[in-house]
Amino acid sequence: MARLFSPRPPPSEDLFYETYYSLSQQYPLLLLLLVIVLVGLLALLAVAWASGRELASDPGFLTTMLCGLGGFSLLLGLASREQRLQRWTRPLSGLVWAALLALGHGFLFTGGVVSAWDQVSFFLFVIFTVYAMLPLGMRDAAAAGLASSLSHLLVLGLYLGPQPDSQPALLPQLAANAVLFLCGNVAGAYHKALMERALRATFREALSSLHSRRRLDTEKKHQEHLLLSILPAYLAREMKAEIMARLQAGQGSRPESTNNFHSLYVKRHQGVSVLYADIVGFTRLASECSPKELVLMLNELFGKFDQIAKEHECMRIKILGDCYYCVSGLPLSLPDHAINCVRMGLDMCRAIRKLRAATGVDINMRVGVHSGSVLCGVIGLQKWQYDVWSHDVTLANHMEASGVPGRVHITGATLALLAGAYAVEDAAMEHGDPYLRELGEPTYLVIDPRAEEEDEKGTAGGLLSSLEGPKMRPSLLMTRYLESWGAAKPFAHLSHVESPVSTSTPLPEKALSSFSPHWSLDRSRTPRGLDDELDTGDAKFFQVIEQLNSQKQWKQSEDFNPLTLYFREKEMEKEYRLSALPAFKYYAACTFLVFFSNFIIQMLVTNRPPALTITYSITFLLFFLLLFVCFSEHLTKCVLKGPKMLHWLPTLSVLVATRPGLRVALGTATILLVFSMAITSLVFLPAASNCPFWAPNVSSTASNLSWELPGSLPLISVPYSMHCCVLGFLSCSLFLHMSFELKLLLLLLWLAACCSLFLHSHAWLSDCLIARLYLGTLDSSLLRPGVLKEPKLMGAISFFIFFFTLLVLARQNEYYCRLDFLWKKKLRQEQEETETMENLTRLLLENVLPAHVAPQFIGQNRRNEDLYHQSYECVCVLFASVPDFKEFYSESSINHEGLECLRLLNEIIADFDELLSKPKFSGVEKIKTICSTYMAATGLNATSGQDAQQDAEQSCSHLGTMVEFAVALGSKLDIINKHSFNNFRLRVGLNHGPVVAGVIGAQKPQYDIWGNTVNVASRMESTGVLGKIQVTEETACALQSLGYTCYSRGIIKVKGKGQLCTYFLNTDLTRTGPPSATLG
């Protein structure tokens, strides 16, 4: 028992379980135990007074009762102090056990002659409650139970051993007592083990549920971040609802609509300003960068621009290579949208000037701003990117293209909205841009008021370059300087997703580290300021723990009826009652132990009449049959080796475990069998009051009389029949999952049967035993024993005490069985919801990133905090545009200011996107859409360096897939033309070669590819011919090797590349077998 008072271990999960969960279950039981003991003591006093006994004539009994009432009242007062109880749980439990033990020994030696069967039921009560109702560990409870048993056996053995031979045989009675106590210990340990297992399982499920909730909350936040990183909030809600509908209807499917059009998420906004910005000189600089440097440089630059945009209430729309454009006045209207864009443009130019001054790298910023109205939203089905469309957007783009490096170029519409906030000067230039020349409107350059101050303070010659030395590459200088800006990494909020729920779910660190044993179970009584110290997760943790408190069963609940404990949802109640119960076989096995204990006891204290032996033989046969049915699945191997006609036997145990009706019938029959056999010995006692010890002259020959009734059983079998009846009560508690109402019915039935037997029909047996026990007594005060020594009274009190004790435990067990079922159901639901949310997050992320890149940013797959970048040796890049759409697009009241034109564009892009779901195009990755231009690539899912290790034919085999995709795009457009009565034609440019891929931008992460290959592919499209696929000479050679036919277009001028010889792909023919000797 040294562990009982040992110091508490350091905070751990087990300690947390014992303090906040096991104690929450045991705390009310401990109080109820003390109340039951106090009520039992008062009942003893009341029975003694009602039976006409003089309490003053038995000072030992009175003293024991008063000490018991005082001691247990004090313990009840101490236990009522919940905080003190949490701190001194083990010592207080030890005191309760010691007080019960002392009370039992006091009862032994007060009120009359000491007998071997005295207070066996009370000690059995002590043993069982030590396991079932005291907040002790299994080892402590076992030590206390065994100590209680041994103390009774040793005390009576030492006290009664020297008694005269006139007493009944002592050894069989002590052996019967030992069997009773052993059965009580085993039943108590069994009850505690099963409850402990169930409680720990529920505790784990509660923690897992909490963990699932945290994951669910995390996933919801991730979804919000992901959606808001692509879309404004008003659009995110609409599109999230559609994704959920798609997930529920089946991945990739689209909810049924009332028309044949795809959903269009585009709205018109007036009163906005659009800013386009381009980094002049960046293309040449990027060609000198390593992949890591390029991605880092772009992320830092655009991260800085995002920061500036946030400061000036602008929303970044998209990044196109080294071009950045944003809008002010979306999604909410802003009166200062023009000023916001101009300020942002000036700050961008200022940031680049500082960069140029610090590094000496020759780059600059060209900015164009225009104010007007836009159509904004998302088109297509994949790789959503919030975009804007309108003539005003086109004008802003041309303002940037025709602007001056280092200056902000604005239109007259923007100037009118500035209201003199900035000085401007006339652009005074002959516009080389035909679009602006055609408009013929004046444009202006904004004068930066801080430009002169910066020139005076400027650092000439490049400060960083002078410090680092002249040999450092410009790209490396840029990278070094940009790292100091500290732009956030893309998807940083996704890098620490919680690990999946496991059985070893960790507890909140703060909850454990802040643990103090004196905290109350009632959160309203915790020390002030404690909740302020806990984060939201820990606060939720304590809320979950509080929901497990058994005191909640008596309060109003959304889940339970507080009176019946039935689930409020009828379906859940039905599911609970029909749930499988694999542990039923163990209930039956432990009940057999009680039955076997009764058999041994009756064999020890009776003269073993043949009829009793035959009855028990039949009952043993029935029990073995029941156990065979319950454990038949463990005999599968043996049965399968036997005749086929017996192969169905192992299914019996499955039927018992899964059929609630069969379980209830077998459980009830088992308990009734134990009940009936507990009182079988009384059947062999005479029913008539024919006691030979009531004769007037019997006292003189008392020493010569036997303890047996003539032709019947020994009288000492009467109290042991009562003890067997107490074991019958215990058998009810062994069926933990049996419904409370059925237990109540059985306990009431057994209580009524026992009381009617021992207080009415067979009450004379108790009187006869007392008459025999007190024959020849000279002390007149002992002619009538105390209430503690009268078997029928003490037996009846024991029956009632066990009845109420087991009723309390039955209610507690019912609550926790239902709570365990509820938490398991909640956990399953939350895990399913979490899984749905994770799938949604993955779907959203894969809608931003390629499938092979997305895992880099999810949960524990995130290996480090580096920016994602990858270089590829052979990637085929496609640009496919519908140039006729620019002419088709118009803004008038007839087409809702261009909205209906965009509806058609949405259909075109969505139909293009649907091609990506086809297996043969699984290697095609959509990169983005730029107005009516569709950009895609193949070869991005190859491992870095893999292409270099393969020959040219294998490494570029995906070019054929891209060609087939381009042809499929044309076919889709033809179908749309047929249904919309249009004559759109596709213009396609292809190129292949090395590229750098990466993810940039923390505010709106974006996957993109860069490199000369991309630039040339774009030029192949812009200089191409409608209805043709234009390729470079290198790509034409590669396609010819794959069996395609190309013919030369000739030499054309390509902006930024000079004169190039290009080819058209012959798409009228499929692969033509052996490649031609020439290209055309």
Beta-carbon count within 10 A of 589 CB: 16
Q: Which phi and psi angles does 354 have, rounded to 5°?
A: -65, -40
CA 1000 to chain centre: 31
| Nearest one of 128, 88, 82 to 104, comparing CA atoms | 128
| Nearest one of 646, 665, 648, 675 to 584, comparing CA atoms | 665
Question: Distance (Å, rounded) from C-alpha 933 to C-alpha 60?
Answer: 104
**974: which residues sit within 8 A by CB, 6+ positions away?**
none
Instruction: Let me know if 501 is exposed, middle or buried by CB neighbors in 10 A (0-12, 13-18, 19+).
Output: buried
| Catalytic member of 310, 574, 920, 1055 | 1055
| Nearest one of 734, 741, 745, 738 to 577, comparing CA atoms | 738
Instruction: Let me know if 426 is exposed, middle or buried by CB neighbors in 10 A (0-12, 13-18, 19+).
Output: exposed
Count Cβ neighbours within 10 Å for each residue of 289-320 and write b for 16 or more, e otherwise. bebbbbbbbbbbbbbbbbbbbeebbbbbbbbb
| Nearest one of 1069, 1062, 1072 to 991, comparing CA atoms | 1062
Give the residues across from 425 on adjacent strands: 445
Tokens of 420: 């003199």
Q: Is the dihedral of CA 583, 584, 588, 594 positive or negative?
A: positive
CA dist 299 → 142, 290, 579, 856, 1002 (Å): 66, 14, 56, 17, 8
| Nearest one of 998, 804, 783 to 33, comparing CA atoms | 804
Tokens of 784: 């009538």
Classify strands 408-411 and 869-881 as parallel, antiparallel or unpaired: unpaired
| Catalytic member of 772, 1004, 1019, 1049 | 1019
Give the residues across from 184 on adjacent strands: none
Classify strands 987-1000 and 1029-1032 as parallel, antiparallel or unpaired: parallel
Count Cβ neighbours within 10 Å for each residue of 382-406 and write b for 16 or more, e otherwise. bbbbbbbbbebbbbbbbbbbbbeeb
Question: Distance (Å, rounded) from C-alpha 709 to C-alpha 694?
Answer: 12
Question: Distance (Å, rounded) from C-alpha 210 to C-alpha 132?
Answer: 28
Please, are residues 1012 and 955 in contact by the beta-carbon 8 Å criterion?
no
| Nearest one of 681, 684, 666, 753 to 724, comparing CA atoms | 681
Classify strands 987-1000 and 869-881 as parallel, antiparallel or unpaired: antiparallel
Question: Distance (Å, rounded) from C-alpha 363 to C-alpha 348?
Answer: 12
Q: Which phi and psi angles does 366 have, rounded to 5°?
A: -120, 125
Assess whether 1019 carries a catalytic annotation.
yes
**16: which residues sit within 8 A by CB, 6+ positions away?**
507, 511, 512, 515
**746: which residues sit within 8 A by CB, 6+ positions away?**
668, 671, 672, 732
Assess whether 825 carries a catalytic annotation.
no
Question: Distance (Å, rounded) from C-alpha 342 to C-alpha 284?
Answer: 27
Please, are residues 382 and 847 in contact by the beta-carbon 8 Å criterion?
yes
| Nearest one of 586, 561, 358 to 459, comparing CA atoms | 358
Residue type, 869: H
Active site residues: 1019, 1055
